[in-house]
Structure 1
Amino acid sequence: MEKLLTWIDSKLMPVAYKLSNQRHMSSIRKGIVATLPLTIVGSFFVILLNIPIDGYAEFIAPYKSIIDVPFRFTVGILALYASYGIGAALSRSYELDEVSGGMLATVAFLISSIVPVQVTEAVEGVIGTGRYLNIANLSSSSLFGAIVASIIAVEIYRIMKQRNITIKMPDGVPPEVTNSFMAMTPALVVILLFWVIRHFLNFDINSVISSLLMPLKDILAGNSLFGGLLTVFLITFFWVLGIHGPAIMGPVIRPIWDMAIAENMDAFASGVAATELPNIFTEQFLQWFIWIGGAGATLALVVLFLTSKSKYLKTLGKLSFLPGLFNINEPIIFGAPIVMNPILAIPFILAPMVITTLSYFLTVSDFIPMLMARLPFTIPGPIAAVMSTDWSLMAGALVIVNFVISVVIYYPFFKMVEKQQLEKESESDIKAEIA
C-alpha cells in the first residue's frame, strides 16, 4: 500500500495537476462555470412553472409564455454565454484584453453555428417573411462547438498580436480604444475564417465535434451505469489522494454535465415528463442523491463522529456538521483525515458506488424521476432533490435512504478510526499525568 501511494504521489499526481492547470482546460472550466448564475436562475423559472398546487397550472396559464422567457434566454442559449466566458478566460491567461477575446470567441461561435433562415411565406401570428436566426443552435447541444470556436478565435488573436499584425494607436489614446483597434485585424481574420468554413464549405464544426464526443457523453452523463460509477469512482479516488476531484475531472466532464442537465431542462420545459427525460447521470443526480454532505457522502461520517467517545472526533463532528448539512465537506475530508487514509478511503469510495447503483435502478424503474432543474449546491439534499425532480417526495425519501445506507457502510470503519484515536488520547492523558 505504501509503495502504491508513493507511486501515485510521484507519478500520477503531477500529471493530474498538470492536466487540471493546462491553459485551455482551465479556461474551458472557468468559462463554463461562469454560466452557473444564469442556469441556476433559469432553473427556478422552470420550477415556478411546475409547482404542484391545485389550480396553480390554470392560474398561470395566461402567463406561461412570459414566465418561460428567462429560461429561454439563460439555459436556452447556454453555449453563447459559454463562448464568451471561455474566450475571456483564455485571453486573460495570455494577458490579452479579456473583452476583445470574449467578443472574438462569441462571433466565431455565432458564425460557425447559425445559418440564417429565409422565410418567404408568412404564417400569421407566428412568423413574417424575412431572414431569421434559430437560437436553438445556441443551446447546450452546441457547447462543444462553442469550446472549439472560442479557442481557435483567441489563438488567432494571440498569434497576430505576438507578430504585431494589429492596428496600433498613438500614445495617449484610452486603453479601451487601443484594445478595440488592436483586435480589429484579428476580428477580420476570425470572421472570414469561420464565415468561409461554415457558409462556403458548409462544414458544421459543432456537428462534427459533437458526433466525435457524443459516445463519451452517452457514457459519462447519459444512462450508462458503468459511466456513472466510473465518474463517481474517479472523483472520490482523486479526493483520497488529496486532489480536488471535480477540479481534475472538470475540464472533461463539466461540458458534458452542463449539456446533460440543459437537455433535461429543455425537454421538461417542452412538456416531457420528468420520468422520460434524456439523461440520468447529470451533475445534479450526483449532487442530491450521492454527494450527501459532499463528495463521498461524508455527512454519514460526520453524524457518526458526533456519537464518538473520542474528544477529537466528536469535536470535529460538531465543527463539520453545519457545513456538511449544506454539502461542504472539506473540514471532514482534511480533518479526519480521509486524504491518504487507507481506512476511511474505503467507505469514502464504496458508499457512493453502492448508493449510485441503488439510485440508478430506482430511476430506470420510474420510482424516481430524473433531474429537471439546476439548484445551488448548498441547498440541503432532500429539499433540493424534491424540487429538482418535479416535486417528487420519493426523491427526498431516496436521499434519506441513501444517507442511512452510507451510515451503515461507514460505521465499521468509523469504529476502527475511533479505536485508534481513543488509544492516542489515552496515551496523551497518561503522559500529561506523568508530567
Structure 2
Amino acid sequence: MEKVLERFAEKMMPVANAIGSQRHMQAVRNGLISILPLTIVGSFFVILLNIPINGYAELIAPYKDALDIPFRFTVGIMSLYSAFTIGSFLGKSYKLDDVTSGFLAMLATILMIVPVNIKEGVTTAGTTVSGRYIPIAPLSSQGLFGAIVASLIAVEIYRFVKEKKIEIKMPDGVPPVVASSFAALFPTLIIIILFWIPRHFFGFDLNGIISFAISPLKVFLTGNNLIGGVLTQFFICLFWIFGIHGHAVLGPIIRPFWDQAIIQNMELFQAGISAYQLPNIFTEQFFQWYAQMGGTGGTLALVVLFMTSKSQYLKQLGKLSILPGIFNINEPMIFGAPIVMNPLLAVPFMLVPVVNTIIVYIFTALNIIPRMMVKPPFTVPAPLGALITTNWNWMACVLVFICFFVSLAIYYPFFKLFEKRTLDNENVQSVGE
C-alpha cells in the first residue's frame, strides 16, 4: 500500500507544484489572504449588530446606520481591496513596482462600475444630495471575480508596456518614486481605454459575464450541493496525505468561491434575512468548525486518542499537539505521527471530514441549524466558532461535539492498529539497546 501511495504521489507532485507555483494563482491566493484582517474585523461588527439579548436591538436602533459603516467599508468593498492586493502580488512576481501594480488593478476594477446619477431632493441622514456616486454593491462580494480578472489583465498590460519599453524615461538623478510614476503613464492610459470604452459606451459588463460563466461552479462548490462539498474535502485531504499543502494547492481555485459565499451570506444577513434562509451552506467556516476540527482531517480527535496511548512517542506527540489542535493547527500531527504517506491513518484522515460534512449538511438542509453568517479567525476553537458563525445557535455548538465523537469513533480502530505497530517498533528498539 505504501508503494502505491509513493507512486501516486510521484505522479501528483508535478501537477500540484504547477498549480501551487503558477504566478497568477499565487497572486490570487496571497491577495485574498492579505485582506483577511478586513473581513474578520468586519465580521465582528455584524456580530455586534446582532447580539441576541432582549432589548438590545431597540437600544442600538438610533446608532444602527453608524455601526454598520465599518462592515460596509471593510467587507462591503472587499473587491476593491482584493484588486489592489492581487495586483501588487502579481506585479511583485514580475519585479514590477508593486504599489503601481496595485493601483492599476484598482483602476481597472473601478472602471467597470457605472456611476449612479442622483437627482436633487433625495436626502440621506437629513442632508440633500445630488450628483454622481459610485454604488458600493459592485465592489462587494458580487464583484470579486470581475476584480480578480481585471487585476490580472491590468498588471499584464503594465508588464507588456515595461518589456517593450513604451515609457517616458526620466533622466538620472530623478527620485525612483517619481520615475516609476512616469513609467506608469502609458499603461494607465491603455487600461483606461480598454476598460472604460467597452463598459461605458457599449455596455460590455465583464463582471456580469464572468459571474454568469462561473455560476455553475459556484453553486457546485459553495451552494447547497453535497457532492461538491464532499469532493472539496476529499481532495484537500488527499493532497495533504502526499505531504502537499491541500489548501495552498486548491486555495487559488476554491478560496474566491468561499470568500464570495460567506460575504454574500453576511450581506444578506445584515440586510435582515434569517440565518436559516441564507443561500450558501458550504462556506469555508462550515468546514473549519465541523468537518476540520483541529485542522484538516478533523485531527483533534486523533490528538485526544494519542494522549491516551500506551506508546510513549504517541502520548508525547498528543500532549504537544493538543494546544495547537484546539486552535485548529495540526501540522505537528500531520508530519509528526506522521499522517503523510501513512496508509493506516490516511483512510480516517480522508473519511472523517467527509462523514462530518454529510452529517452537518443534513442538519443544515433540514433547518435544524442555520447557515454561517460571519467570518471569525480560523483559530477560534470549534464550539465557539460554530456558535458565533450561526448567530449564537446552541444546536450548532452541540453538533460540533456530535461530530467530534463521530471522529473519535472513525479514528479509533485505525489508531489502535497504528499504536500496535508503534509499540512493536518501540519494543524492538528497547531490546536492541
TMscore range, shorter length: over 0.9
CA deviation vs aligned residue, 1:372-408 (integer Å, no higher than 9, x gap): 1100111111011101110011111111110010001
Structure 2: give runs of 5+ residues left out of the alignment: none
Kindly provide the amino acid, as one letter, of the partner of residue 30 in structure 1.
N
Q: What is the match of residue 349 of structure 2?
A: 348
CA deviation vs aligned residue, 1:222-271 (integer Å, no higher than 9, x gap): 11000000101010111111111111111100000000000000001000
Q: What is the match of residue 81 of structure 2?
A: 81
Q: Is the 8 A contact 2:2 2:342 kept in 1?
A: no
CA RMSD of aligned residues (A): 1.1
Q: What is the match of residue 409 of structure 2?
A: 408
Give the TM-score normalised by structure 1.
Answer: 0.97
Kindly provide the amino acid, as one letter, of the partner of residue 58 in structure 1.
E
CA deviation vs aligned residue, 1:32-57 (integer Å, no higher than 9, x gap): 11110000000000000111122211
Change (3 A) 1:81 1:200: same
**1:153 and 2:184 equivalent?**
no
Q: What is the match of residue 34 of structure 2?
A: 34
Q: What is the match of residue 168 of structure 2?
A: 167
CA deviation vs aligned residue, 1:279-337 (integer Å, no higher than 9, x gap): 00000000111110000000000000000000000000000000001100000011111
Q: Is the 8 A contact 2:42 2:70 kept in 1?
A: yes
Kindly provide the amino acid, as one letter, of the partner of residue 312 in structure 1.
Y
**1:223 and 2:224 equivalent?**
yes
Q: What is the match of residue 115 of structure 1?
A: 114
Q: What is the match of residue 5 of structure 1?
A: 5
Q: Displacement of 1:4 after TM fit?
A: 3.2
Where do 1:99-110 residues align within 5 Å?
Answer: 99-110=99-110
Residues in 2 aligned to 1:412 and 1:348: alpha-carbon distance in whole angstroms: 13
Q: Secondary structure, in 3 states, of the residue corresponding to 1:120? A: strand
Q: Secondary structure, in 3 states, of the residue corresponding to 2:285? A: helix
Kindly provide the amino acid, as one letter, of the partner of residue 23 in structure 1.
R
Q: What is the match of residue 253 of structure 2?
A: 252
Kindly provide the amino acid, as one letter, of the partner of residue 288 in structure 1.
W
Change (3 A) 1:429 1:6: closer
Q: Displacement of 1:125 after TM fit?
A: 4.1
Residues in 2 aligned to 1:395 and 1:418: alpha-carbon distance in whole angstroms: 33
Residues in 2 aligned to 1:166 and 1:11: alpha-carbon distance in whole angstroms: 45
Where do 1:187-266 residues align within 5 Å?
Answer: 187-266=188-267
Q: Displacement of 1:429 after TM fit?
A: 1.4
Structure 1: give runs of 5+ residues left out of the alignment: none
Kindly provide the amino acid, as one letter, of the partner of residue 234 in structure 1.
F
Where do 1:301-340 residues align within 5 Å?
Answer: 301-340=302-341
Q: Secondary structure, in 3 states, of the residue corresponding to 1:17? A: helix
Kindly provide the amino acid, as one letter, of the partner of residue 85 in structure 1.
T
Residues in 2 aligned to 1:2 and 1:323: alpha-carbon distance in whole angstroms: 28
**1:21 and 2:21 equivalent?**
yes
Residues in 1 aligned to 2:28 and 2:306: alpha-carbon distance in whole angstroms: 38
Q: What is the match of residue 275 of structure 1?
A: 276
Q: Secondary structure, in 3 states, of the residue corresponding to 1:160? A: helix
| Count of matched residue positions in the alignment of Structure 1 and Structure 2 | 431
Residues in 2 aligned to 1:5 and 1:405: alpha-carbon distance in whole angstroms: 26
Residues in 2 aligned to 1:400 and 1:296: alpha-carbon distance in whole angstroms: 16
Residues in 2 aligned to 1:124 and 1:284: alpha-carbon distance in whole angstroms: 39
Give the share of equivalent positions with the same residue, in percent. Answer: 58
